[in-house]
Amino acid sequence: MNILVTGGAGYIGRHTVKTLLEKGHSVVVLDNLSRGHRQAVPADVELIEEDIHHLERVKQILTDRKIEGVMHFAAHSQVGESMVNPTIYYDNNIVGSYYLLEAVRQAGVPYMVFSSTAAVYGEPEQTPITEDMPYAPTNVYGQTKLMIEHMLAQFSRAYGLRYVALRYFNAAGADADGRIGEDHTPETHLIPLILQTALGQRQSIKIFGTDYPTADGTCIRDYIHVTDLADAHVRVLDYLAHGGQSQYFNLGTQHGMSVRQMIETAKKVTGRDFAVEEAPRRAGDPAVLIASSEKIQAVTGWRPVHSDVEHIIADAWNWHRTHPAGYGDEK
């Protein structure tokens, strides 16, 4: 199939581009490069530097390239930033996604796979989190992703668009070949922060909160390898192409690791010791977030096969060790 990947120069988008190519799909990447990296896109893949807000231009791209499916990763995704600068999240995530959806409708593209988030659930009262739990996002980022899901559902009912929204938890790791990986500015994700500390780029890694009701007092999260995420995106595209109806799925491993366990595992994998600081809790950090992936496993057969924590950290370490400055561009 001919697939357009918005945000395909970003972290999860780029890994999904690789999996799409391996499965024989033809890929076009659309990215405004405000946060993505030109160097991340393979030389033999067409990269169109464009913004999803530009309806007519996007519609022309969809039509000219005979696009049959869109994978939508183009969104701002920093929780803290969304709370202090919400306007860029409403504009980029909601308004931009509307224009993209309208271009998809006008061009007659039948399928869309949307990169959503577990943040739509907010702070659930129990885990593992299943898809039937109530939506209660506690930050602007989660609110914008939920609004996009609502738009997709309306476009599906009104115009026949078939879509899958994938709600994932903590994406982590890097491709095993070490040529692509995680490079955010600023970096907010735990594993890159830990590994940057191991490399000596940071003086210490902070643990925010050591008094949670968990075995070691630190937060527990469900980490999933980015390669497993990419595989899920391609599987649900195949599901739609073979007649599957619009759906939403959680993606996770159904197992959690604490912050302290992640730090100790990173020390083991890297063979390096480094300073750890204990700091007060951050507002809005739930004690435990673990996903149930039973629904997608039942429907598509997807299972995480790369998401053992040592495997995740080893692949991430390979990337960060060989690319200490990321892709080497400035954001």
* Active-site residue list: 141
Helix, strand, coil % over all residues of the chain, rounded to 5: 40, 20, 40
Q: Which two tokens stand for residue 10?
A: 């970003």
Residue with tokens 């063979």: 271
Pairing relation of β-strands 220-221 and 288-289?
Answer: parallel
How many residues are there in the chain?
Answer: 331
What are the backbone dihedrals phi and psi of residue 288, each rounded to the nearest 5 degrees, phi first?
Answer: -140, 130
CB 283 within 8 A of CB 121: no
DSSP string, 110-137: -EEEEE--GGGG-S-SSSSB-TTSPP--
Distance CA(137)–CA(300), nearest Å, equals 27
**Distance from C-alpha of 238 to C-alpha of 143, rounded to nearest angstrom:** 28
Structure-token pair, residue 170: 């903590």
Burial class (CB in 10 A: 0-12, 13-18, 19+), 219: buried
83 contacts: CB under 8 Å, gap ≥ 6:
139, 140
Which candidate, 105, 183, 93, places its Cα nearest to that of 139?
A: 93
DSSP 8-state class, residue 39? G
- Round to the nearest angstrom and report the end-to-end CA distance of the chain: 33
